[in-house]
Amino acid sequence: MTNATRMQPDKTGSFRVPVAEAAKGGALTAISRSDLVWLVFAGVVAGFMLLPVASLLVMALEPAGDVWGHLIGTVLPRSLVTTALLMLGVGAITLTVGVGTAWLVTMCRFPGRSIFDWALLIPLAVPTYIVAYSYVEVLNYTGPVQAAIRAVFGFKTSREYWFPEIRSLGGAIFVMGFVLYPYVYLTTRATFLLQSACTLDVSRTLGAGPLRLFFQVALPLARPAIVVGLSLAMMECLNDIGAVTFFGVKTMTFSVYDTWVNRSSLAGAAQLACAMLVIVFALLWLERHARRRQRFHVTTTRYIGLPSYRLTGARAGFAWAACATPIALGFAVPAWPLVDYISRRFEALADPALLQATWNSLTLSLSAAVMTIVVATVLTYAQRVNRNGGIRLLGRTASIGYAIPGTVLAVGLLVPLASFDNALDDVTERLFGFGTGLLIVGSGAALVYAYVVRFLAVAYGQVEGGLGKVTPHLDMAARTLGRNSLTTLREVHLPLIRPVLLSAMLLAFVDCMKELPATILLRPFNFETLATTVYNAASRGAFEDGALPALLIVLVGLVPVILLARTSAATFRNRRGSRVS
């Protein structure tokens, strides 16, 4: 139960706490000018985020040919089940591993804990398409594992022994689970760190043992954070095409591309993608609905060192193994074949194209990450300025791009952007006698735009969660002191949620580094990122030549990942240190 937090029934409830009323910055009837400006601004921003979705809807309205008879008759019943199983399986792994390790490193003391604290995030830097390739390299017949088995038992061919097939639904669940669990780990760990120490202290005083504390207090309290991480991991299953294709797992996204490429029906593909969006919406809504009566605020600013359990002996060993295993499976194993290939290709390091690709990846990802948190802040703060349900819905809808298969999203973005470019070209041609040509399409700006649409969800959940923890008392106080919505944001909220913003930005950065499908289709001429360099090699069946850029994606991604863990941990340590007196 979550009655340890302050529970306020919302509109649907029977009573309201006056504070919450005041925190709205006045009643709905009297929106201040600054609030109105903010809301309009947020509406425009949300419009930009929803543009490709709208464009997708328009595409879906085109005649699709007779694709649906086939889809419903033969494809969907199976691909729905496959997709559901993939999402559930990955959900189960990410949930268990993510929450379990987060609890261990925040609540227990054991050897290596301070390293695991950040190292558990490392698999986040490994793209799923690379991890899929790598695992096949390691586990297939010619890989080291089977070679060792054959050497030990004297087998000659693969028919003489049984070995699990990694290119299967089970393999996909395993592989994706162990690179995606950091989403859950990151959000849950932050919440465990933030969880009001008082709550946990009270629970302990009331005699709750470690297990009860975990299952009955900490876990329900962390639910919103866990859901944020979990839904990211599960949506990643939905939009992934690289890993599932390589593993031969026919998810709905696979069918979207079949419908488009082999059955020449882009409209049918768009309709299928829209149907997927409806499912995502339904799931998210169900979850929100289930906890609609709960509110999660931090009620104290006193961060005391969390109660910790000192583990020794076998227990410490178990904790160590529980933390080391996901890092090994999500990072060390897939990195190994990469290193092996690179050892035979050191000369590739001197390739100037590689340096250029690294630079392109870095600048694009950084720009997009910054834009992403700006957009996320604008949209989430709008909910705070005015708790109108429509605004909340708009914000959440705006971050739905994450669930759309990348190439489909890119096509959705192309149409409105190119129309804009062509219209502008027409106008300037008429007015000034020269055309602007295609201004945005085929530029870095189009890529940044696509990244923000794709990865807004990554930042949105975190920023929303961060703002949600700031008690509405503060808004009220700031307004009483004459601050408007903008100055309140600048002077009160932004400083308070700075660690959250930073972590949201770093997370978006890592995702942008890994991004492939939208980059491929929207990029300018002669433009390569690290991800497209890997893709070029893999697309001609020579993954080994893409090993170096692949490892670079991982290494560059590691920097923010480590920063991510360090900064947030440091923030909490400092706060605790300064407040305890």
Partner 1 sequence: MTMSTLAGRLATAAAGLLTATAFALPASAAGEVNIYSYRQPELIQPLLDGFTEKTGIKTNVIFADKGLAQRMQAEGENSPADVLMTVDVGRLDGAKALGVTQPVNSEIINGNIPAEFRDPEGHWFGLTTRARVVYASRERVEQNAITYEELADPKWKGRICTRSGQHPYNIGLFASVVAHKGEKAAEEWLAGLRDNLARKPAGNDRGQVQGIYSGECDIGLGNNYYMGKMLTNEKEPEQKEWANSAKILFPTSAEGGTHVNISGVVMAKYAPNREEALKLMEYLSSAEAQQIYAEANFEYPVKPGVEASELVRSWGSFTPDDLPLTEIFAHRKTASELVDRVGYDDGPAS
Restricting to residues 420-439, name those near partner 1 by CB under 8 A. Answer: 421-422, 425, 435, 437-438
109: phi > 0 → left, psi -120 to 50 → alpha, else beta; which? beta
Quick one: CA dihedral 490, 493, 499, 500, positive or negative? negative
Specify the residue, 124 or 441, whose C-beta has the smaller distance to partner 1.
441
Between 20 and 266, name the residue whose CB sits nearer to partner 1.
266
State yes or no: residue 567 binds partner 1 (CB under 8 A): no
Stretch that binds partner 1, among 19-27, 176-184, 263-271, 289-297 (CB under 8 A): 263-271
Binders of partner 1 among residues 158 to 197 (CB under 8 A) are 158-159, 165, 167-168
Among 227, 268, 272, 259, residue whose Cα is nearest residue 404: 272
Cα–Cα nearest to 475, from 486, 466, 465: 486
Written as one letter, the residue type at 189 is: R
Dist CA 149 CA 162 (whole Å) = 11
Q: Which is nearer to partner 1, 208 or 370 (CB)?
A: 370
When asked if residue 410 is in the footprint of partner 1 (CB under 8 A), the reply is yes
**Phi–psi pair at 309, nearest 5 degrees:** -100, 125
Q: How far apart are CA 370 and CA 464, in angstroms?
A: 16
Binding-site size for partner 1 (CB under 8 A) equals 84
CB 337 within 8 A of CB 547: yes
**132 or 552, CB closer to partner 1?**
132
Among 33, 156, 310, 430, contact with partner 1 (rule: CB under 8 A):
156
Residue type (1 letter), 72: I
Q: Report the residue number, 377 or 383, with the smaller CB distance to partner 1.
A: 377
Residues 58-87 that bind partner 1 (CB under 8 A): 70, 74-75, 78
State the nearest-atom distance from the C-beta of 417 to partner 1, in Å.
8
Query: 260, 303, 402, 509: which one contacts partner 1 (CB under 8 A)?
Result: 260
Helical H segments across 195-222, by residue range: 197-205, 210-212, 219-221
Shortest spacing between CB 124 and partner 1, in angstroms:
21
Contact pattern from residue 3 through residue 42 relative to partner 1, giving x for each residue in contact according to CB under 8 A and a dash for the rest: ----------------------------------------
**Six-digit token pair at 139?**
């586990």
Q: Which is nearer to partner 1, 147 or 580 (CB)?
A: 147
- What residues from 339 to 358 belong to the interface with partner 1 (CB under 8 A)? 341, 344-345
Residue 87 Cβ, how far from partner 1 at the closest point, in Å?
19
Window 136 to 155, contacts with partner 1 (CB under 8 A): 136, 140-142
CB of 353 to partner 1, least distance (A): 11
Structure tokens at 327: 């890092």
Q: Are 400 and 53 contacting, i.e. CB atoms less than 8 angstroms apart? A: yes
Helix ranges (DSSP H) in 262-344? 266-290, 313-327, 333-342
Among 14, 157, 205, 480, binds partner 1 (CB under 8 A): 157
Which of 494, 559, 562, 563 touches partner 1 by CB under 8 A? 494
Minimum CB distance to partner 1, residue 72 (Å): 11
Answer yes or no whether residue 216 interacts with partner 1 by CB under 8 A. Answer: no
Residue with tokens 């944020």: 228
3-state SS assignment for residue 310: strand
Q: With CB under 8 A as the contact rule, which of the stretches 259-267, 455-463, 466-474, 570-578 interacts with partner 1?
A: 259-267
Could you say which of 6, 204, 212, 263 contacts partner 1 (CB under 8 A)?
Answer: 263
CB of 168 to partner 1, least distance (A): 7
CA distance 316 to 318: 5
Specify the DSSP element, H or E, that contains 99: helix 76-107
| DSSP codes of every residue in 505-572 | HHHHHHHHHH--HHHHHH--TT---HHHHHHHHHHTT-GGGGHHHHHHHHHHHHHHHHHHHHHHHHHH
User: Is 316 in a helix, a strand, or coil?
Assistant: helix
Q: Are strands 309-310 and 108-109 parallel, antiparallel or unpaired?
A: parallel
Provide the minimum distance between the beta carbon of 191 and partner 1 in the complex, in angstroms, as a whole number.
22
424 neighbors 435 (Cβ within 8 angstroms):
no
Binding residue (CB under 8 A) for partner 1 from 135, 185, 246, 509: 246
Q: Please list every residue from 438 through 477 that binds partner 1, using CB under 8 A.
A: 438, 440-445, 447-448
Q: Report the run of H or E that residue 108 belongs to, with start and end.
A: strand 108-109
User: 311 is written with which tokens?
Assistant: 């583990």
Closest CA to 534 of 551, 522, 510, 518: 551
Q: Which of residues 266-325 bind partner 1 (CB under 8 A)?
A: 266
- Of the two residues 293 and 498, which places its CB atom closer to partner 1 in the complex? 498
Residue 375 binds partner 1, judged by CB under 8 A? no
Which residues inside 518-547 make contact with partner 1, applying CB under 8 A?
Answer: 520-527, 532, 536-537, 539-542, 544-545
363 binds partner 1 (CB under 8 A): yes
User: Residue 409: CA atoms inside 13 Å, Cβ hemisphere, count?
Assistant: 31
CB-wise, 163 or 281, nearer to partner 1? 163
**Least CB distance to partner 1 at residue 418 (A):** 4
Q: 145, 274, 393, 418: which one contacts partner 1 (CB under 8 A)? A: 418
Q: Which is nearer to partner 1, 70 or 212 (CB)?
A: 70
Cα–Cα distance, 338 to 346 (Å, whole number): 12
